Chain A
């Protein structure tokens, strides 16, 4: 099998699945991502990422009841699994620890107004 690394977009989707719990499903996730990140995302991309996440075991899903607003079709609700949570934490820690190790000077150097 492929590695169980989290891609950038996958991580975003996984986070949103967590945020929207217990009502995380394809279209809702897409709307949330569009709203928060201002990226233009197709539903297909979200579904594709969800299917990869499920293959990796980071999310699990089940069908909800059929509702009228979807023309009688059922939603598939997603939920973060324990390993999904671990993967998020690992990513989060990695980033934080790397970010903390950046020296003040390096960050200041990025600030052009201050350096001249």
Chain B
């Protein structure tokens, strides 16, 4: 088994570490013992665990008896105690400076904690599944009208065939998600219905609270989520109850066989109503044993591999199955089946069309990470500036320490100790603020999110905070400690040092800080203005006073339309299959030499009038013309993209999905996607059958009363169906909520940046005033006016601000111009100058207010007092 010739070599670094701290005379016997230990562990548990155990034991030699030279330097421990004491005294004496430092650092640390938790969530999505590293989702790479696209779904049969054919696949489950009506007693709601193979519950780690997961084998069983159990039964232990699932008007009876535990916060997918996949056959008529259309009858396929599987080989063996599928579906041929690990599925969800898992956009998280890093840097600069300036008061202490024999090394150690003490306080305060103040704030801003961290039990956050503490301590403390300890005691005692020149580095830091603050203010203002701009932006149709009621069948549609005719509050009504902003089809238009993808809205006659879509030329659909089903109405973007001549557009014939249709009108561009997405070509088609939605146009202000009437009628007419009506103006609420959240965060960041730079400025200004206090006093004695002194002091800061602006204005303009172009493609034509002007005024105001306290102090002071003091 074990190769005897193989040399046993314990980790070298651990040996070096031992040699470094351990007494020379003990090293040999200890190393010998550890060597034997290593040998035993190697045989028992393998090299990795053996290395770990080795390190563990090495660390356990960090005991007084083994430590080298402890007795020689017993003095240094006493000295550190003394440093700590002087440090605490200093923090107490310089209350304001300490507060500024601790507060600044703590705030930024709190922000880092939040960003850490957001990032951690993103990177641990779905990792709780026990076999997560061996589970893969099969993706289909598709040629979609000449464009490569990845689809999250595969043909239905693929998973079954693979399971029989590839021995390395341990388990496989196919998943299809639809929606249906679930009814228990008088409780009727639309629910998400998950159809899956019974292995779903063993492949994924969704433990059940009640019931057996094996029950899913039965076609009449359903496993429900805890949320659903409480919603329908007000109880969790509901195994054995019967619920009705209504799909397309047909009822199916299911027996509750299990209730799942509440899903973890980092589950990017879960289920509410989980039934056996075989039910697709009796409910939807899906042919389970046939290769079928990749678009309509496709499912998510997950496989769990054993350790021996080679992914590349497996992927290429999948190739032979694409031919079967491509024969049936020639429009969107599958290029390749690809395996996506479950561990990265949520993170890559944004690149997959119709993914099963969902993750937030990493770009925004990256932006947060960068912002928090910049704020941290800003707080460090503050700290450096202030601590350098505060030593001005402690010059005598430093000089005396040096004169009585303190070495430079010891002074560095002293200042570093003080610095680490301060950073420690800041880290603790920051961690607490972040966890108990900022995280709940984030949860309030992003509705439905549940971010939390346990400071004392989560080892990762502890490591993160400790690392942050070390880095902050070193970065912020090194410069002041080295700078201060280099002073020559004679110079200080003679008083030379006090008159020494300006600190260039402090000015540089402050300039950078002004620059960062400026950028932060601009971004806050820009987000606010864009938010306002969008909420007032024209949607291209009249979205106000429109009530939309989704319907399941013709009967419901007819009843709703009848109701509209009777009610005086309803000005107009129309049915449609698609709904603007909510649902539509994709179509392909064949132009001369290329194909263009268009959004296709199938609507009833009168729909355009009801929603107030504005006609540019031509006419809208008319029920009286039977040929109108062959006609389409396009948007302006369609003309732009296709390059058609707008004046001669009417009665032009185009080929849509292989069918010849004629353009009879052009409408203004209307918003069917949110403002993150650029406008694309779209068209309307006429179909007066199979309505999915009925839209009502009500009198102005009559929306809620109308809805009440409709709701009552609905409950009487259709007790088996839930009422799902909504207002058309709500369709982009999700979008406005997310931009609003972004906006709030940006404003908060701008606020923190302002406070931080004001604090840094305050510290530096007090230093500069202090340095030149005699100069100002003499000026006053000689008759300088107040304005003159104000001028003298503020001038230097205005110069710094000017430099920051020279740097900041062009840079931030290009940055934000680029960024907003990416985020809101259709919203802006260049940035307005207003936010930039406002940011300049705001920054200038803050600078002036901050230094004015020093100026007032200076003006009120009796100059003789300062001059007499020597």
- Chain A residues in contact with chain B, CB under 8 A? 25-27, 30, 42-45, 47-48, 51-52, 63, 69-71, 73-76
Contact = CB atoms under 8 A, between A and B. Distances in A.
B60 A45 contact: yes
B228 interface: no
Given A69-B39, A73-B28, A74-B28, A43 B33 contact: yes
Interface in B28-61: 28-37, 39, 56-57, 60-61
B144 to A, nearest CB: 60
Contact of A73 (B31, B37, B66): B31
A90 B66 CA distance: 29
B30, B36, B65, B66 — which one has the most chain A CB atoms within 10 A of its CB? B36
Nearest to B61: A44
Contact of B29 (A44, A48, A75): A75
A74 B29 CA distance: 6
Contacts of A25: 29, 33
8 contacts: A27-B37, A44-B57, A47-B29, A51-B65, A52-B65, A70-B32, A71-B31, A73-B29
Given A27-B37, A42-B56, A71-B8, A47 B61 contact: yes
A43 B54 CA distance: 10
Contacts of B230: none
Contact of B30 (A43, A45, A52, A63): A43
A42 B57 contact: yes
B63 interface: yes
Nearest to B64: A48
| Size range of the chain B interface in the assembly | 20 to 34
A44 B66 contact: yes
Nearest to B62: A44
B36 to A, nearest CB: 5
Given A48-B63, A51-B65, A52-B65, A75 B56 contact: no
Contacts of A76: 29
A47 B36 contact: no
A48 B66 contact: yes
B717 interface: no
A88 to B, nearest CB: 22
B26 interface: yes
A71 B28 contact: no
A70 B30 CA distance: 10
A30 B37 CA distance: 10
B33 A26 contact: yes
B66 A47 contact: yes
Contacts of A48: 63, 65-66
Given A26-B30, A73-B32, A75-B29, 11 more contacts: A27-B33, A27-B34, A42-B60, A43-B33, A44-B62, A47-B33, A52-B65, A70-B35, A73-B35, A74-B32, A76-B29
Interface in B2-40: 8, 26, 28-37, 39
B66 A43 contact: no
A44 B36 contact: no
B35 A71 contact: yes
Nearest to B25: A76
B660 to A, nearest CB: 82
Contacts of A27: 32-34, 36-37
A76 B32 CA distance: 9
Contacts of B8: 71
A26 B34 CA distance: 9
B26 to A, nearest CB: 7
A43 B37 contact: yes
Contacts of A26: 29-30, 32-33
Contact of A43 (B34, B62, B65): B34
A51 B8 CA distance: 28
Contacts of B60: 42-45
Contacts of B56: 42
A74 to B, nearest CB: 6
Nearest to A69: B36
A63 B32 CA distance: 12
B47 to A, nearest CB: 16
A49 B463 CA distance: 32
Contacts of B62: 44
| Top 7 A-B residue pairs of the complex, sorted by shortest distance between their CB atoms | A44-B60, A73-B32, A27-B33, A42-B60, A70-B32, A26-B33, A76-B29
Contact of B36 (A51, A52, A70, A74): A70
A17 B763 CA distance: 65
B63 A44 contact: yes
B715 to A, nearest CB: 66
Given A42-B56, A44-B66, A47-B26, A71 B32 contact: yes
B631 to A, nearest CB: 83
A76 B61 CA distance: 17
B61 to A, nearest CB: 4
A48 B66 CA distance: 8
A75 B28 CA distance: 8
A45 B56 CA distance: 12
A27 B61 CA distance: 13
Contacts of B65: 47-48, 51-52
Contacts of A73: 28-29, 31-32, 35
Interface in B752-798: none
Contacts of A43: 30, 33-34, 37, 57, 60-61
Contacts of B66: 44, 47-48, 51
Contacts of A42: 56-57, 60
Q: Which of B31, B32, B35, B60 has the most CB of A within 10 A?
A: B32
Interface in B166-213: none
A79 to B, nearest CB: 15
A1 B50 CA distance: 39
A73 B28 CA distance: 6
A42 B56 CA distance: 9
A27 B30 CA distance: 9
B384 to A, nearest CB: 41
Contacts of B57: 42-44
Contacts of A30: 33
Most buried by A among B39, B57, B63, B65: B65
A26 B65 CA distance: 15
A30 B28 CA distance: 17
Contacts of A44: 57, 60-63, 66
Interface string B278-293: 0000000000000000
Nearest to A42: B60
